[in-house]
Structure 1
C-alpha cells in the first residue's frame, strides 16, 4: 500500500537528544574531553562572576558554542545562533534542551568578549591538554615552533597617514600656491559650475585609490579600521598586507599545539614569541629540551637565549653566517627534529581553512589573540577521535 505524504502535527513530542546522536560520532569524544576540562576550571569561572545581577550565559555553554563555531566553520555568531535553533546536534553539544530558547546574537557576542580573554583561552587549552587521556600523548622534551600571518579585518584603503606624523614641506609637489587675493565668483557662473560636488550627488563609497609612488610605512601610517594591524610581508617577492603574526609551539610526538600566541607583525616577532612560549610552557625547568624551527629563527641572539634557557636549538641553518654549528648538527636528533618540525604547518593550515583564521573577523590584537589560541585548542580537539580511537 502506498504511504500518504501528509503532514500532521503532534500534540506532544518526546525527543531525547542523547539518543539522536550516533554512538560513534566524533563529537561524543570531543564533548567528553571538553566537559572534563571545563569542570576543572569551575573555580576560575566562579571568580569571574558576582553574586548579584542578571544571570549571564553559562561559561561552559559559551565556550562549547565558540568551539563548535570553529569546528564547523561557522563564520558569525548570528549564523551560529540560527543553526543552533534547528540543529539538534548543536543543541546537544552546547547543552541546550529541545525547548530551551537560543540566545540573541548580540548578547552572545558581549558575553563572549567578557569571558574569552587571552588568559582564559590559554587556561582552556591547558585544561584540555592536561586531560587524563591526552597528557600521555604529549612529548615533554621535543618541541617545534613557527609563525604564520593572519590577515587583519581591514582594507588597504584604510591605511592612512597618522595624525601625529610630521607634515610635508611647504614647497611640496602636492601643495598648491597660496593666492594673494581670494577668488571671486563671476556673476554669470551658476552654483552647479562652481560647486565641486553638485547637489543630489553622493561620493563613491568604494572609489579606486592609486597608491603608486606613495611611500607608506608603519611609522607614518596606520589603519583607521584596525590600528593594531601592521603592514608586513613574510618573504621577499610577495605583497605586503595588513596582518597580525600568529605563533604556535608544538610537541613533536603527535603534533599537538601546547602554546599559542599572536602579536603585531614585524621582523622580530617570531623569535620573541618563541622565547615567551618556551618560558610559559616550562617555567624554571632544568630539563634539556629541543626546539625545532626554520631558517627564520637562525639568529645569534635567539640561539644564545635558547641555550641559556636549557634548550637545544634544532634550528635550520642558513646558507651563510649560521649561528648553528657542528655541536648541534652532528647529533641524530637534529635531523629528526628537522623532519618533525614541518608538521606544525598542519595546525596552521587547519586554522586557516576550517577555523576561519585566514582573515580574522575580529579587530584589536587582544581579541584576535584570544580567538587564535582558542582555534589552536579546537585543532587539538579535532584530532582526538582518531588518535584515541586508534
Structure 2
C-alpha cells in the first residue's frame, strides 16, 4: 500500500445530488422536527409574523420558523450567545436539517438573529410560547390545579464598575478620586483608591442613586451564588402536577417577590385561559409559594379569588395586631389553616423539586444564567423561547424518554436475547447501549448428554 499524501484542495466544478454530504440525522431532533411539522409550526409563525414585513417587495428575510428553531437549539444545546448559535448550527449537519436549510443555503448570520428579534415584538414571542403550551395541553401535560411560583436571578450584560450616578452621571471611580482629593491626596494611586473605598463608612450601592449606562434596565442585586452584580429577575409559574411552565416573566432585580407576584399570576391566568384551564373563584387553583411572597396585602388581595393560597408564613415573635382590618385577618387565618394539611406538605415538596429543576435546566444547563443581551424586553423575548424549549422537552420526554439531546444520547438501554443453536446449545446474548457505545456479552450453555 502506498503512502497517501494530502494535496492542495481544489473546488469541484460540478457535484451531483447523490455526492452531496448528508447526515444520518439525530434521532432527537428528527422526532422534534416531526412534531413541529405535524402541528404546522412554520405556517403558524409565518402567518403570525407576516404583518411585520413588506407585503410585496423587499429583501427576503430570515424565515420565522428558522429563527425560532435556532433559539430552541440554544436551549437544547446550552448555548448562551447568538454568535455561538451560528457556529454550532454551521458545524452540524443534523442541525442544518433541523433548520430546514437547503444544500446550498448558509446558516443565518448572528446579525440576522438580532435583526429579527428587534423586528418581532414581545407579544409574538409570547404567542409562540402559548402555542407550545397548547401542544402540551393536547397531550394532557397542563392541569392548572396546583401552581408553584418562584424567582431566580440572571446576571446582566453590564459591568458593575461602569455604573454612574443618576443625577450628574459621575462614575464610581470619579467619585473615589473626588473623595481622595477632598481628603488631601493630590495624585491618588489605584491602591489608594481601593483602601479609601474599603475604609469609608456607610458604603453601599443603591439602585435609587446608581444606574448602568449600558443597560438601564439592569439593577444591582445579590445573585444566587452570593455575588453582587447587575442582574435581572426571571420568575416562573409552574404546573406542579406536570412540570410545565405556564408563565415566565422578566422583572427588575430590585423588586420584591410580593411586588412581582401579581404580574406573574396575571400572565399565568392568561396562558391557562388559552388551554381552557384558567382558575376562577368557583374553581380556584392552588398557589404554592415560599415565605418571600408572604404579606398581608398579598393574602388579602388573593382571598376569595381565583387563587387558593398556600404561602409559607414566616415565624414572628409577639402578638399580631390587625388594627380593625378584618379582611386581612381572615385571609391570614385561611392561609394558615391550609398550611396545616398533608396536601400542603406534599405541594411544598413538589414545589421544591419541580420549580427549582426548571430553573436549573433553563438558566444553568440552558445557558441563560449570564445573558449577553441588553434591555429587559429584549432579554425576555429570547427567554420565553428558551422556556418554550423546556416545555417541548416535556413532550419529547413523553415520546422518547429524554428531554434534551444530551440526555437522549446518554440513555442506558439493555436487550437480552435467547437463541437456540442447531446443535441444541442455548446462547444468551446481552447487548448494552450507552450513548454511542455498544457492548455485547454472549453466554453459551452446552446440553447435558445424559439428560
Give yes or no for TM over 0.5.
yes
State the partner residue of 1:348. Answer: 359
State the partner residue of 1:199. Answer: none
Quote how far apart the aligned CAs of 1:344 are. Answer: 0.5
State the partner residue of 1:70. Answer: 75
Deviations 1:141-163 (A, max 9, x none): 11111100111111110122113
Equivalences, count: 355
8 Å Cα contact 2:232-2:252 kept in structure 1: yes
Q: 1:140 to 1:226 in 2, by over 3 A?
A: same
State the partner residue of 1:289. Answer: 285
Query: Normalising to structure 1: TM-score of the pair?
Result: 0.79
Q: 1:132 to 1:154 in 2, by over 3 A?
A: closer
State the partner residue of 2:30. Answer: 28
State the partner residue of 1:243. Answer: 231
8 Å Cα contact 1:77-1:105 kept in structure 2: yes
Provide the secondary structure at the position in 2 that maps to 1:248: strand
State the partner residue of 1:252. Answer: 240
Q: For 1:223, which of 212, 236, 255 is the aligned residue? A: 212
8 Å Cα contact 2:33-2:98 kept in structure 1: yes
Measured in 2, the distance between the counterparts of 1:211 and 1:139 equals: 54
State the partner residue of 1:98. Answer: 103
Quote how far apart the aligned CAs of 1:347 are. Answer: 1.2
1:147 counterpart = 2:147? no
Measured in 2, the distance between the counterparts of 1:304 and 1:144 equals: 19
State the partner residue of 1:332. Answer: 342
Measured in 2, the distance between the counterparts of 1:383 and 1:209 equals: 53
Provide the secondary structure at the position in 2 that maps to 1:54: coil
Q: Which has the higher contact order (CA 8 A, sep 6+)?
A: 1
Query: Whose Rg is larger?
Result: 2
Measured in 2, the distance between the counterparts of 1:308 and 1:49 equals: 46
Measured in 2, the distance between the counterparts of 1:54 and 1:63 equals: 20
8 Å Cα contact 2:248-2:264 kept in structure 1: no
Provide the secondary structure at the position in 2 that maps to 1:260: strand
Query: Normalising to structure 2: TM-score of the pair?
Result: 0.69
Q: For 2:127, which of 123, 128, 131 is the aligned residue? A: 123
| Contiguous gaps of at least 5 residues in structure 1 | 167-171, 178-195, 197-202
State the partner residue of 1:368. Answer: 379
Which shows bigger deviation, 60-69 or 135-144?
135-144
Measured in 2, the distance between the counterparts of 1:143 and 1:164 equals: 45
**Superposition CA RMSD, Å:** 3.4
Provide the secondary structure at the position in 2 that maps to 1:63: helix
| Contiguous gaps of at least 5 residues in structure 2 | 171-177, 321-330, 402-451
8 Å Cα contact 1:142-1:291 kept in structure 2: yes
